[in-house]
Structure formats: C-alpha cells, structure tokens
Amino acid sequence: MKDLILDVDTGVDDALALLFAVRHPELRLRAVTCVAGNTGLGQVVANTLKVLDAAGAPDVPVSAGAERPLIGPARDAGHIHGTDGLADLGLPASARKPAPETAGVPAVELLRDTILGAPEPVVVVGLAPLTNLALLLRAYPEVAGNIERLVFMGGSASTGNATPVAEFNVWHDPEAAAIVVDAGVPVTMYGLDVFYHVSVDAPTCAELLGHEEPGSRLAGLLLRHQIALCGADPRVNGDGLLGDAGAVCAVADPEGLTTELLPVSVELAPGYSRGQTLVDRRALPGEDAAHGLSGPAHGVDVALGVDALRYRRLFLDTLLSGPPS
Ligand code: BDR
Ligand code: CA
C-alpha cells in the first residue's frame, strides 16, 4: 500500500486522476491540496470536492492553497477544461467545506502535517502548477525526509503545449518548478513526452458511461469530453487523453514507465522560452561547462517512454472495480 498526496488544479484530467487514486487498491489517498491553474482557486476547490463526493471519498482532507503563481498573475485554461474547469457537466455542488474554512489548515500546513504524520514515506504527486509544493519545500524543508518520491505532471524534453517549448504547469509557475526540481527529493518528471501517449478509446469510454456507479460514470463523462476535445489531433488518434491520470498510473505501476536520470533546469528568463524544461540528453557529464551553459542542472527521472495500453487497461480495470470499501 502506498500513501499518496495529490496537488491538483481540477481540471478534467485532474478529476480522472482523483477517481483513479481513490479506486486503486494499492493507493491510499491521504490528502488533496488545490492550486490555481486550469481554473481559479475557488473553482478548483469546488470541483475537487464534487469529484471526491462522486468517487465515494467524501472524507479525504482537501485544502485550498495558492491563488496565483509565485510571480505574476494566474492564467487559466478554460478553452480546454470548460468554463467551470470541469467540462461544464453540471455536477451537484458538494455540501462539504474544505479546510481552512473547516479546520484552519491551509494547503501548505495540510501537506506538512500529512507528510510528517505518515508512518511511511509518502509519494507526493503534483498535477498542476507547482506553487503549493514549492512553498512547502521552502517553508518546511524537513518534509523532504519523509517524501519517498515527488512525481509531477509537467515539462517536456521536446515540444511544449502552452508555448512551442513550455508545458502548461511549468509555464504557469516556472520559479516554483525550479524550486521543486532543486529540492533534493527524488523527482520524476511525467512530461508531455509521455502525457500525449496515454489515452482511452471510444469503446472504453462507452463501457464506463454505461456503468451505473457514479464514479465510473463520471470517468466516462470526462473522457467523452476529452475525446471531443482531442478531435483530429494526430497525437491521440481520435481517443481521449487520460492526461494527469497517467501520472498516477505511473505511481501505481512504475514498470509501465521508462525513465532516464537526467539534468533538468527550468528556463526563468523572460521571453519566448520562459517555462521550458531544459533536459540535458547529451552523453557526457560536464558538457555543460564545456558549452558555457549556466545555471543549476539537477538529476530528475525523466519519463521518456510509456506502455500506453498497459495504463489504459489499468485505468479501466480500476474504474470498473467499484467504489472503495
Ligand atoms: C497539464 O495542464 C493542465 O491543463 C492539465 O490538467 C495538465 O495538468 C498539461 O499540460
Ligand atoms: Ca492538472
């Protein structure tokens, strides 16, 4: 059993990740923290609570975190996730209030308390701009000792999506991403190099939609949105992306991912390449100095390959297995 914390900007694919994390028998979701990204912070919190209700996990602690990046204003992705960030499905609002309204615990404190209070090192998964996690690691560096691994969906060793070279989560808060890759905890970067390969086809989506159980059916509705959104995108072949949920599949089943330990730096300079993750894939150590590149470069397990069918099957089997007991 793995103890897990998710940091999210729910978001259609964050919702898929939440549903998967709640359902997977070897994962124990200990807390969820929210950050501005796909939509504004208040909407992210409301969406997260709705999804956990539908997933049959109304008791998982949820807390609100940063409402904007460390530097600059928040920028949303409503063109992808719908005006409410959750495909405008009209899900009922949760009756639950998140911390801090209920318990006075902001996200950074919930993260610290959950990590330090866990009996075994936890896996922390960032599926959003890394603002909350950067604030945590700067305010309470002692948490590093009880983090088994930090997996984040973000970055790219090739092209970007928010810009030609920058992926959305890193582009939204590059300084936060730089702090996280430099924090001294084992980090896995689940970036666009694998993100665009893990998808679900229309028959699988129909199977979920036909299910009576609310969490499974919600997964079907979200994937139907993803299929419509991806349309003719040749990278996805008419399927719907699992997106962030793929990063949680990688926690449950790391064997499905091929990674390489590589130096990664985040471009922080203003301009066209701000937010790019510079993944150094050259063969020889020390070439940085030889070529005059400056700035720190840190060892990150960069995901470069994925067994996409294996994760599709894992997602479907997990979502069809019914709510947690
Ligand atoms: C990332 O950006 C968001 O829109 C998705 O939820 C995912 O976390 C992909 O670049
Ligand atoms: Ca996300």
Determine if ligand 1 sits within 6 Å of the CB of residue 7: no
- CA separation for the pair 158, 165 (Å, rounded): 7
Determine if ligand 1 sits within 6 Å of the CB of residue 248: no
Residue 73's pLDDT is 85
Residue 292's pLDDT is 43
pLDDT in tens, 42-89: 999 999 999 999 999 999 999 999 999 999 888 877 777 778 889 888
Which of 41, 43, 57 has the alpha carbon at shortest distance from 4?
57
Q: Bridge-partner residues for 265, per DSSP?
A: 278
Whether residue 133 has pLDDT greater than 90: yes
Q: Which residue has the higher pLDDT, 102 or 223?
A: 223
pLDDT in tens, 225-247: 999 887 767 777 778 999 999 99
CA dihedral 122, 123, 125, 131 (to 10 degrees): 50
Query: Which residue segments constitute the domains of the chain, with CATH numbers given?
Result: 2-321 (3.90.245.10)
User: Relative to the CA of 127, which ligand 1 atom is closest?
Assistant: 8
pTM for this model (two decimals): 0.93
The interface predicted TM-score (ipTM) is: 0.98
For residue 23, the SS3 value is helix
The answer to whether 198 and 306 are in contact (CB under 8 A) is yes
C-beta atoms surrounding 242 within 10 Å: 28
Among the residue ranges 211-215, 216-220, 245-249, the one predicted with the least confidence is 211-215
For residue 159, the SS3 value is coil
**164 pLDDT tier (thresholds 50, 70, 90):** very high
How many A from CA of 143 to the centre of ligand 2?
23
**134 pLDDT tier (thresholds 50, 70, 90):** very high
User: Relative to the CA of 38, which ligand 1 atom is closest?
Assistant: 4
How many A from CA of 151 to the centre of ligand 2?
13
Residue 75's pLDDT is 86
Largest CA-CA distance found in the chain, in angstroms, rounded: 61
Q: Which residue has the higher pLDDT, 266 or 282?
A: 266
C-beta atoms surrounding 82 within 10 Å: 18
Residue 105's pLDDT is 65
Q: What angle do CA 69, 43, 24 make, to 5 degrees?
A: 95
Q: Bridge-partner residues for 152, per DSSP?
A: 126, 189
Q: Which residues contact 210 (CB under 8 A, 6 or more apart)?
A: 220
Whether residue 294 has pLDDT greater than 70: no
Residue 46's pLDDT is 94
- CA separation for the pair 14, 209 (Å, rounded): 18
Residue 92's pLDDT is 82
User: Relative to the CA of 154, which ligand 1 atom is closest?
Assistant: 10
Q: Stretch 212-218: mean pLDDT, rounded? A: 90
C-beta atoms surrounding 228 within 10 Å: 10
Determine if ligand 1 sits within 6 Å of the CB of residue 127: yes
- Residue type at 56 in one-letter notation: G
Residue 100's pLDDT is 56
- CA separation for the pair 10, 7 (Å, rounded): 9
Which of 133, 151, 153 to mutate for ligand 1's pocket (most ligand atoms within 8 Å of CB)?
Answer: 153
The per-type count for the chain, helices as H runs and strands as E runs, is 13, 11
Whether residue 325 has pLDDT greater than 80: no
Among the residue ranges 123-127, 145-149, 162-166, 292-296, the one predicted with the least confidence is 292-296
Residue 103's pLDDT is 52
How far, in whole angstroms, is CA 257 from its chain's centroid? 16
Residue 90's pLDDT is 85
- CA separation for the pair 29, 26 (Å, rounded): 10
How many A from CA of 290 to the centre of ligand 1?
35
Whether residue 279 has pLDDT greater than 70: yes
Which of 96, 94, 100, 149 has the alpha carbon at shortest distance from 121?
149
Note residues around ion ligand 2 (Cβ under 5 angstroms). 9, 11, 14, 127-128, 244
Sign of the dihedral through C-alpha 98, 101, 102, 107: positive
Whether residue 284 has pLDDT greater than 80: no
Q: Which residues contact 20 (CB under 8 A, 6 or more apart)?
A: 245, 248, 249, 252, 315, 318, 319
Report H helices in the chain. Answer: 12-23, 41-54, 78-81, 107-117, 131-139, 168-172, 174-181, 192-195, 202-209, 214-230, 244-252, 287-291, 308-319
Q: Stretch 291-304: mean pLDDT, rounded? A: 69
Residue 288's pLDDT is 54
